[in-house]
Amino acid sequence: MAKNRFNQHWLHDHINDPYVKLAQREGYRARAAYKLKEIDEQDKLIRPGQVIVDLGATPGSWSQYARNKLAQGNRKNEGGIDGTIIALDILPMEPIADVHFLQGDFRDDAVLEQLETIVGAQAVDLVISDMAPNLSGVASADAARIEHLCDLALEFSQNHLRPEGALLVKCFHGSGYSQIVEKFKRQFKVVAARKPKASRDKSAETFILGKGLKTPGKGV
């Protein structure tokens, strides 16, 4: 009974969520689009001409938002975008126009190599990651899983970002959070935490933004 009450409560909140209604009205696949939109409007992350890598992309609302921003820079031509978006997720994703999608597990070296092959010699301007592991409820184990995903995103960014590029990752307040922030500070000149209004109040999720590599890697 308790589980049914929880499901009914969640469903009621979801149906009445203003961001869910807005997403349906504006054609986004998930309310998460407005988390990225708010951070982008504050930090001016997405601009025409960029190469963007979207990790944990499914169902695709972050890629949709990024695509819309890059399409604004291509007013001279009908359709298309001014830039490149490469999306990756372990789950399948319905196609999005002008978005290159790779299905696979980012923790798998073979999948990471495929992603790096698609990126090729291009220097990446922005890495956005809404990845989250399946949480077990065991704080120490969950913290380790979250930190591992952040480590992989940091390593990929170190190898592929332009010196002035940026990385935005989803994280969770709790065990291991401060260690992740410290890793960002070692790698980036500017580090900031973002909690957009579209992120539910009850959620421990927050987003960490790193801008400007202290030691440029291969993406120079």
Q: What is the pLDDT of residue 10?
A: 43
**Residues annotated as part of the active site:** 170
pLDDT value, residue 13: 58
pLDDT per residue as tens digits for the range 50-63? 999 999 999 999 99
pLDDT in the model for residue 11: 54
Neighbours of 134 (CB within 10 A): 6
Q: Which of 73-77, 150-154, 157-161 has the lowest mean pLDDT?
A: 73-77
Which region holds residue 13: left if phi is over 0, alpha if psi is between -120 and 50, else beta?
alpha
In three-state form (DSSP H/G/I as H, E/B as E, the rest C), the secondary structure along 108-138 is CHHHHHHHHHHHCCCCEEEEEECCCCCCCCC
| Amino acid 30: pLDDT | 95
- Tell me: cis bond preceding 59? Omega within 30 of 0 counts: yes
Q: What's the CA gap between 126 and 137, in Å, rounded?
A: 31
Query: What is the DSSP code (8-state) at residue 219?
Result: T
Positive/negative CA dihedral, 130, 211, 117, 119: positive
The answer to whether 130 is a known ligand-binding residue is yes
Q: What is the pTM of this model?
A: 0.89
Mean pLDDT in residue range 161-187: 94
Residue 39 CA to residue 158 CA, distance in Å, equals: 22
| Whether pLDDT at 219 is above 90 | no
Tell me if 60 is assigned to a ligand binding site. Answer: yes
Task: Provide the pLDDT for residue 62.
Answer: 98
Q: pLDDT per residue over 102-146, tens digit each? A: 999 998 999 999 999 999 889 999 999 999 888 777 878 888 999
Average pLDDT over residues 66-82: 80
pLDDT at residue 194 is higher than 90: yes
User: Is residue 72 pLDDT above 90, yes or no?
Assistant: no
Contact criterion met (CB below 8 Å) for 128 and 54: yes
User: Is 89 annotated as contributing to ligand binding?
Assistant: yes
Domains in the chain with CATH codes: 33-213 (3.40.50.150)
Please say whether the beta carbons of 101 and 57 come within 8 A: yes
How many angstroms separate the Cα of 5 from the Cα of each of 2, 12, 83, 201? 5, 10, 46, 20
The response to whether 13 counts as a known ligand-binding position is no
Does 54 count as an annotated binding residue? no
Does the pLDDT value for residue 90 go beyond 70?
A: yes
Closest CA to 169 of 147, 187, 189, 139: 147
User: Does pLDDT of 6 surpass 50?
Assistant: no
Dihedral sign (CA 184, 159, 130, 29) = positive
- pLDDT of amino acid 149: 93
